[in-house]
A and B are shown apart, each in its own frame.
Chain A
């Protein structure tokens, strides 16, 4: 009886949709938009010929925005439930189609690896030697650098659960140690690469000691500050780092001593090939691929060692760790410094790839991008982080390809300026539909009978 009653009430409610309420709600949002846009959008400021400030009203734009807000809200109230349900089930379907892939991980990994190795050749094949430059450099190498950085930070944030907002500092340490060692002392790239990793790891330990006593928000703020301090030192220590102008003329990496140039001692001449700038790019691509895979291999290995389990246990419950006799300070420091080491190696590669570095490349925004790759990927998941890097970095590079949109929005339209907007929207979408990242399942590090992934809802994210 009571059940039937409840059903009847529910169906009544569905029938009697509150149109007036929806209108009122949407109207309120419209007014709110008007209020908000008045100070920031309604006037464009410019200087006239006499250096005076001129306000150009842009009421049409405001009207359009208000109309958009009103309609969007109204449609959301009317159709939103169904839409949200649809997206939810879509997200679940994507998730469930992805999850059986796990059982083919071995094949999946092989196919992925084969594809990565073939990528530069495919690029040349499909885009021609000229077009391939962009695909290998801007997409391939650029994305792989972020994959490596994401994997490095994943050790700190994803495994050990330490929120590090200053990761780019270690990237900078690696890049600057390579730049300085090679320009001042003439060290070769191959020597600089491990040294950069070691320096960054040492900096990790140095910064880690005072910082890792803090937890959660405090840790995040202090790491952020350290990241900024390093950048400010780089800008202001002009005698050493040449300040904001940066360091140029960093020797390019060589192929076991063979430079990539058109000279007779060059790589092309040695192998009797026609010189093309593609050789260097191929080399850089495979180098960063190798470095990224090394990061991945070490991480996967470490996860199955006592230290890796201690990191994850630390993320789960620090107090329980202490009650089991685990030295939490050392454990955190190892995570921090190994993460820093990979950041440093990536930095060395970055410096040698461009031959020029400046503090501009190591701003907080970089840390934020790397962190969002880790968070979007699903903290702790290697493949998730890689996918997130492809989506985020590839996506922003893709924006450059959207110049045809100028035909629609006018010549002043620059799609790359919407990068941060898209970033933000991706973040919000994730928080709503996949709050634990693309791949939230955790693989156990040791198995007795049968391997089963652990649902994300049980896995803790750590509080610093």
Chain B
């Protein structure tokens, strides 16, 4: 058997921001995610790939609190917190999070969805775009900044009397929104309803809306689905700029290999809810098990496929 002579973790020495350990999600008798463990590196783009029904979206839903995992631990380490005994200590208590040094550790499997977004600062997009279609593009981005704006409005009391502090905060929120719109070239459409945008723009708007919450980890569920090649090139650029200039870590589910291979630093491959491979794009590209999963060949044929590839 010709083992690929590539180091699966070449260049991957970054510390993790998210650690998923022994995650299992059952729906009745169906095991959608089975004892899955992986890390998402801080400041990098990690891709989660796999055939249809592999359980990718289910993993996302567990991370972002929309599903409560059947078992397993999901730890988010923000602002420089590192894996260590503090996490195990926290797990033994019934608490959900704790501050460690400058950062915080969050046990996401214990938190409800809106708290994960608000406190652990994990933002996400959806496989089927979920914009507020009847609200304008700008309104979508202002709603995303709800939590701090609502505090700035004195829980509406200051806002109701039109206090200057609130007006300033709102102007700041608009500034942030406009800066993001500029980055995706939609500033001119700020006052159009989000539902009237072309599909590709809606996808990017949803990503930018998630970014307006100021996340440390951004989870994207098939951001390139339904995009044409030009749009998906623009998407690549946007994602790389989010990683590089905002320092946000990204976890993305994607079927479009041109996107995955081009921008990911690290890829995890899922099949039937189990991890079958984990490494750099170079390694994944050459992993016979991945090739077999994607080509749909039987297990015995994997070696043959690998042999063929070697030639």
Q: Which residues of A approach B to under 8 Å, CB–CB?
A: 298, 301-302, 305-307, 309-310, 312-313, 316-317, 319-328, 334, 442, 444-452, 454-455, 458-460
Tell me whether A446 and B118 are in contact (CB under 8 A): no
Tell me whether A444 and B136 are in contact (CB under 8 A): yes
Tell me whether A446 and B159 are in contact (CB under 8 A): no
Given contacts A305-B160, A334-B156, 20 further A-B contacts (CB under 8 A): A310-B143, A313-B132, A313-B135, A320-B131, A321-B143, A323-B123, A323-B210, A324-B143, A325-B114, A326-B114, A444-B138, A444-B139, A444-B191, A446-B170, A448-B191, A450-B191, A451-B191, A452-B191, A454-B136, A460-B133
Q: Which of the residues A298, A442, A446, A449 comes within 8 Å of B160, measured between beta carbons?
A: A298
Which parts of B119-155 form the interface with A (CB within 8 Å)? 119, 123-126, 130-136, 138-139, 142-144, 146-147, 149-150, 153, 155
A120 to chain B, nearest CB (A): 30
With A and B bound together, what is the CA distance between A328 and B156 in angstroms? 16
A314 to chain B, nearest CB (A): 9
With A and B bound together, what is the CA distance between A455 and B139 in angstroms? 15
A306 to chain B, nearest CB (A): 4
Q: Which residues of B contact A317 (CB under 8 A)?
A: 130-132
Tell me whether B142 and A307 are in contact (CB under 8 A): no
With A and B bound together, what is the CA distance between A454 and B189 in angstroms? 13
Tell me whether A316 and B149 are in contact (CB under 8 A): no
Tell me whether B191 and A316 are in contact (CB under 8 A): no
State the interface size on chain B (CB cutoff 8 A): 47
B213 to chain A, nearest CB (A): 6
| 30 residue pairs bridging A and B, Cβ less than 8 Å apart | A302-B160, A305-B153, A305-B156, A306-B149, A306-B156, A307-B153, A307-B155, A309-B135, A309-B139, A310-B146, A317-B132, A319-B126, A322-B113, A322-B117, A323-B64, A323-B66, A324-B123, A326-B143, A326-B146, A446-B138, A446-B170, A446-B174, A448-B138, A448-B191, A449-B191, A452-B192, A454-B135, A454-B136, A454-B193, A458-B133
Minimal Cβ-Cβ distance residue in A for B206: A320
Tell me whether A322 and B134 are in contact (CB under 8 A): no
Tell me whether B114 and A458 are in contact (CB under 8 A): no
Q: A309-B139, A323-B210, A454-B134 are in contact. Are A448 and B150 (CB under 8 A)?
A: no
Minimal Cβ-Cβ distance residue in B for A310: B146
B195 at interface by CB-CB < 8 Å: yes
Q: A305-B159, A445-B139 are in contact. Are A323 and B130 (CB under 8 A)?
A: yes
Q: Which residues of A contact B155 (CB under 8 A)?
A: 307
The 10 closest A-B pairs by CB, nearest first: A459-B134, A325-B118, A325-B117, A316-B132, A448-B190, A320-B130, A458-B195, A306-B150, A305-B159, A306-B149
B209 at interface by CB-CB < 8 Å: yes
Q: Which residues of A contact B119 (CB under 8 A)?
A: 325
Chain B 30-65, CB-CB to A under 8 Å as 1, else 0, gives 000000000000000000000000000000000010
Tell me whether B191 and A306 are in contact (CB under 8 A): no
A72 to chain B, nearest CB (A): 38
Instruction: Give the interface centre of B134, B143, B155 by most chain A CB atoms within 10 Å.
Output: B134
Tell me whether B191 and A447 are in contact (CB under 8 A): yes
A156 to chain B, nearest CB (A): 16
Tell me whether B114 and A328 are in contact (CB under 8 A): yes
B251 to chain A, nearest CB (A): 14
B105 at interface by CB-CB < 8 Å: no
B107 at interface by CB-CB < 8 Å: no
Instruction: Give the interface centre of B118, B126, B150 by most chain A CB atoms within 10 Å.
Output: B150
Tell me whether A309 and B146 are in contact (CB under 8 A): yes
Q: Which residues of A contact B139 (CB under 8 A)?
A: 309, 312, 444-446
